[in-house]
C-alpha cells in the first residue's frame, strides 16, 4: 500500500524538505501544497494566520486523506502545530528552528537563528531556546526579504545579491573576539540560497539545514502510521504526485520541485 504524504508550505520553501523525503521514501505519493495566495507567511498577524491555516486543512485533509502531513514551514509550525494535532487524527511532522543541534555544535557560544520576522517572535522559539540553549548566546534575525529572494532564485529571476548580503549581515556578531560560528536556517526557503549565503558570508560558519532530520522523522512516522503496510486511510489514491497552489494554477512541474529540493540550488 502506498503512503500518501502531504507537504505544506506558504510557497516553494517546502521543496528543501521534499527532496530528502522523496530520497528516503521514493514510493510515497506526494501532494505538495503551496499556499502562495497567502505568501509570505512571515508578514501575517498570528491569529489571522492560524485561522487561515486551520481552515485550509479542513479542506486539505478531507480532500487528500494523507497518511502523514509535513508542515514544511517554520512560520506555520511554530504557530499551528498544537492546534492541528488536536483537531485532526492524522499525524503532523513540523519544521521548527534547529536550536538544539546548533547549541551542541557551537564552539564560540554564539549562534544565529535566521528566520522570518514572525518565527523569531514566537513563544515556541523562545521555549526552544530556554529548553535547549540556555547557555548559548542566540542572535534572532528576522528577515523580511529572504523568502521572496529565495523564490526569485528558484524561479530563475535575477537575484539581488546586495539585498541577500544585507539580510544575513546581522547574523554575524563579533563580540570581544568571539564570533558567530553557527547559523540555523530556520525558514525552509533559505536552503535554496545556502550557496549564496556561503559566498557572501563575512566569515565561514556552519549552516544548519534540518531537512534530512525531518525526512527521517517523516519516514518513522509513516511507518508508525501505516503499521508497516496498511495506511490510515486504505482507499486507493486518486492522483499521483501533485502540486497545488492556492494563488494560481501550478506554474511549475513536480520534476522542477524535486530537482531544486535535491540540489539546494545556489
Residue (9 or 194) nearer to ligand DGL, CB: 9
Q: Quick one: cell of 91?
A: 499525524
User: Count of CB atoms within 10 A of residue 202's CB?
Assistant: 13
**Residue 2 Cβ vs ligand DGL, minimum distance, rounded to whole Å:** 27
Binding-site ranges for ligand DGL (CB under 6 A): 9-11, 13, 39-42, 73-75, 116, 119, 147, 187-189
Measured from the CB atom, the residue of 65 and 167 that comes closer to ligand DGL is 167
CA-to-CA distance for 104 and 35, rounded, in angstroms? 34
**73 belongs to the catalytic site:** yes
Q: Which residues contact 232 (CB under 8 A, 6 or more apart)?
A: 65, 67, 89, 90, 225, 226
- Closest approach, Cβ 75 to ligand DGL, in A, equals 4
Report the residue number, 159 or 232, with the smaller CB distance to ligand DGL.
Answer: 159
Task: Give CA separation, 18 vs 168, 240, 246, in Å.
Answer: 25, 15, 18
Question: Whole-angstrom Cα distance, residue 251 to residue 143?
Answer: 26
Q: Are strands 110-115 and 137-142 parallel, antiparallel or unpaired?
A: parallel
Query: Given the complex with ligand DGL, which of 37 and 55 has the nearer CB atom?
Result: 37
Question: CA 182 → CA 88, 103, 193, 202, distances in Å?
Answer: 36, 9, 16, 13
Tell me how crowded residue 45 is: count the other CB atoms within 10 A of its CB. 8
| Rounded least distance, CB 256 to ligand DGL, Å | 17
Pick between residue 13 and residue 66 the one whose CB is nearest to ligand DGL: 13
Least distance to ligand DGL from the beta carbon of 118, Å? 7
- For the question of residue 263 being annotated catalytic, the response is no
Spatial distance between the Cα atoms of 72 and 94, rounded to a whole number of angstroms? 6
Provide the grid cell at 181: 560560528
In this structure, the strands spanning 174-175 and 178-179 are: antiparallel
Smallest separation (angstroms) from ligand DGL to the CB of 78: 8
Catalytic residue numbers?
73, 187
Amino acid at each position: 500500500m502506498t503512503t500518501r504524504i502531504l507537504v505544506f508550505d506558504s510557497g516553494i520553501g517546502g521543496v528543501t524538505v521534499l527532496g530528502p523525503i522523496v530520497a528516503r521514501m521514493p514510493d510515497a505519493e506526494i501532494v505538495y501544497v503551496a499556499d502562495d495566495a497567502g505568501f509570505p507567511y512571515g508578514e501575517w498577524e498570528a491569529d489571522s494566520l492560524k485561522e487561515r491555516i486551520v481552515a485550509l486543512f479542513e479542506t486539505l485533509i478531507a480532500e487528500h486523506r494523507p497518511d502523514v502531513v509535513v508542515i514544511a514551514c517554520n512560520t506555520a509550525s511554530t504557530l499551528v502545530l498544537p492546534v492541528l494535532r488536536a483537531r485532526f487524527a492524522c499525524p503532523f511532522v513540523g519544521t521548527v528552528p534547529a536550536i538544539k543541534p546548533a547549541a551542541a555544535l557551537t564552539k564560540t557560544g554564539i549562534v544565529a537563528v535566521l528566520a522570518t520576522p514572525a518565527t523569531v517572535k514566537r513563544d515556541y522559539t523562545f521555549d526552544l531556546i530556554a529548553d535547549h540553549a540556555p547557555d548559548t548566546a542566540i542572535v534572532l534575525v528576522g528577515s523580511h526579504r529572504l523568502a521572496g529572494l529565495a523564490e526569485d532564485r528558484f524561479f530563475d529571476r535575477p537575484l539581488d545579491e546586495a539585498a541577500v548580503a544585507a539580510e544575513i549581515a546581522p547574523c554575524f556578531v563579533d563580540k570581544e573576539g568571539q564570533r558567530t560560528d553557527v547559523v540555523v536556517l530556520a525558514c525552509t526557503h533559505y536552503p535554496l540560497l545556502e550557496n549564496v549565503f556561503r559566498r557572501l558570508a563575512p566569515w565561514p560558519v556552519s549552516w544548519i539545514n534540518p531537512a534530512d532530520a525531518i525526512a527521517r522523522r517523516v519516514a518513522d512516522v509513516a511507518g508508525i502510521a501505516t503499521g508497516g503496510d496498511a495506511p490510515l486511510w486504505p482507499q486507493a489514491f486518486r492522483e499521483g504526485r501533485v502540486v497545488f497552489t492556492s494563488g494560481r494554477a501550478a506554474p511549475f512541474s513536480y520534476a522542477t520541485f524535486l530537482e531544486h529540493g535535491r540540489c539546494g540550488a545556489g
